[in-house]
A = this chain, B = another copy of it.
Amino acid sequence: MKTIKIGLMGLGNIGTGTYKLLEMNRRQIESAAGAHISIDKIFEKDVEKDRGISVDPSKFTQDPDSILKDPGTDIVIELLGGIQPATDFMLEAMNNKKHVVTANKAAIAASFDKLSKCSEENGVAFRFEASTGGGIPILNAITTALQANEFHEVLGIVNGTTNYILTQMSDFGLGYEDALKSAQAKGFAEADPTADVEGSDSANKLTILMALMFGKYVKPEDIPTEGISKITKAQIEEAKASGCRIKLLASARIKDGKLEYGVEPVVLKNDHPLAGVGNEFNAIFVSGNAVGDLMFYGKGAGPLPTASAVLGDVIQIARASKTIGGE
């Protein structure tokens, strides 16, 4: 079997989950990939931190070029997060003929066209299943099995943090601030929760979904976006009293030949399939002109579900590529 050499950039929550999952399911993953998978180098400053994994210290590097310019690296997995330097690293990797896998929705949404074009020009894969819906294989579905459809709508709960907060407010009568604190205590929200609660994380994911489903790149800052930070206990109670729940939805649809889109809190009847999606779960509805309505439901975040998507992408690259990995 050939060996595929991976340079991992970032050993935070998702990076550590990816490293762990490869150890945990190595037999299954390598059998599916038809190749040995070796994480050879890890770009990460914090080498001392106890992550509950055992990493050979010689794998750590503080020099990104030792991965990006290494002719031995087949695939770069970018899990640094943030728009820069992640975007430049991904472009450099692809220009150096390396396949790229990332979970970085902010970077993809900011530069979708540039990154896609770079991957085409270099004939390398650029895969990002983990960026949208965590472990839910939604991007794979819309770019492979569902391609015989013209899509007309997508509607999704694509941010687990806000869905957890709204569920806690609705189910346990918490106010927004208390629900946010609970989310932070459980690791579902960051110390600075702005990107989640103000909706920009959902907008990033909607940019990605629209680009793949409708072939149209809309910058996230051009998506009308309203978050959940102004939602009051009273509004939640009022929705409940009329048999409804408030959910933060990212949506886009073709209407009269035009693409309409937005991110906003929406009052849904309890019998709407998205109303029952609770806590940190995500769910995405897509509608195609042949298949009709489909829904995908699962964990939208967390180290292992996200790593499932990251390594799923690695496996697809290994299977599709005849030119990487020494025999």
Contacts and interface: CB of A to CB of B under 8 A. Distances in A.
Interface of A: 21, 24-25, 28-29, 32, 129, 135-137, 140-141, 144-150, 271, 273, 276, 288-299, 302, 304-305, 307-316, 320
Contacts of A288: 308
A85 to B, nearest CB: 27
Contacts of A297: 273, 294-297
A291 B291 CA distance: 25
Q: Is the interface of A mostly helix, strand, loop or mixed?
A: mixed
B298 A294 contact: yes
Please give me the 8 A-B residue pairs with the lowest Cβ-Cβ distance, nearest first.
Answer: A137-B145, A148-B311, A135-B291, A294-B298, A290-B308, A140-B145, A32-B147, A295-B297
Nearest to A148: B311
A148 B21 contact: yes
Nearest to A27: B150
A295 B298 contact: yes
A144 B140 CA distance: 8
17 contacts: A21-B148, A25-B289, A25-B290, A135-B291, A137-B141, A137-B146, A137-B294, A145-B313, A145-B316, A146-B312, A291-B309, A292-B299, A292-B302, A292-B304, A293-B299, A295-B298, A296-B297
Contacts of A296: 294-297
Given A135-B292, A290-B307, A32 B148 contact: yes
Contact of A298 (B291, B308, B314): B291
Contacts of A299: 291-294
A291 B129 CA distance: 13
A35 to B, nearest CB: 13
Given A135-B290, A148-B307, A148-B311, 4 more contacts: A129-B145, A137-B146, A290-B304, A296-B296
